[in-house]
Every structure is written in structure tokens, then in C-alpha cells.
Amino acid sequence: AQKVTQAQTEISVVEKEDVTLDCVYETRDTTYYLFWYKQPPSGELVFLIRRNSFDEQNEISGRYSWNFQKSTSSFNFTITASQVVDSAVYFCALSSPVGSTLGRLYFGRGTQLTVWP
């Protein structure tokens, strides 16, 4: 079964602090995809990144970076020098390109990040 766990329900930091959001996943598939989405207070779900299971290289995009480690089944998300605008709920998700679960995005419960000025 596919499962995504985001153990951190809420995180609060002060502006300019670095913060890491944890994501642990479970799957029996050898090929799968991992995603991060952001849900700001306005409510929409914004796509941030997609990684496939064969690409374990870390990725950096501006202040955002992602650390994918197959050995620990983790896909963690770090925001460097956080800003108030980063305040949002962040969701990690898992998808499989094959089998009976094709098409489904399995979401974690999300981590509410609050960045204080």
C-alpha cells in the first residue's frame, strides 16, 4: 500500500531561519514519483516539485531544496532563510505509474509552517 507520513503537524520559525519539512513514504513499487505541494492561506494547491525514484540527486531552486534518500524512504524539503510568505501548509505526495493505483496521488496530512516576522 502507498502511504505518506508527515510527522510534523505544525512548525513555527522566525523569519530568516532555515526550516526542514520531513516526509517519509511507503511503497512496494520500484518506480514511483514524489511531489511537494504548497497550500497558502488562500487555499489553492501549488505544485512545487516532482522527483522520480531513479533520480536521487538533491535539487535546489532558489531558497528551496529537496533531499531524496531512498535508503530511508524520505523526501525532505528545506526552506533556507524563511520568509513570512512561506507560511502555508506543505503536502508531500506519492504516485505510482503502474498497477491498480495508477493515477492516484497519495498525500500526507500536511505540515503547517508559520513564519513569524
Partner 1 sequence: DAGVIQSPRHEVTEMGQEVTLRCKPISGHDYLFWYRQTMMRGLELLIYFNNNVPIDDSGMPEDRFSAKMPNASFSTLKIQPSEPRDSAVYFCASSLSAGGLGTQYFGPGTRLTVT
Interface contacts to partner 1, rule CB under 8 A: 32-33, 35, 37, 43-47, 50, 52, 91, 95-98, 101-105, 107-110
Nearer to partner 1, 78 or 101 (CB): 101
Nearer to partner 1, 19 or 89 (CB): 89
The dihedrals phi and psi of 99, each to the nearest 5 degrees, come to 80, -170
- In angstroms, give the least distance from the CB of 47 to partner 1: 6
Report the DSSP beta bridge partners of residue 54. Answer: none
Helix (H, G, I), strand (E, B) or coil at 4: strand
Q: Rounded to an integer, what distance in angstroms lies between the CA atom of residue 50 and that of residue 82?
A: 21
> How many Å separate Cα 35 from the centre of its chain?
6
Nearer to partner 1, 74 or 101 (CB): 101
- In angstroms, give the least distance from the CB of 24 to partner 1: 16
Whose grid coordinates read 517519509? 24
Nearer to partner 1, 87 or 101 (CB): 101
- In angstroms, give the least distance from the CB of 6 to partner 1: 10
Of 13, 19, 11, nearest to 80 (Cα)? 19
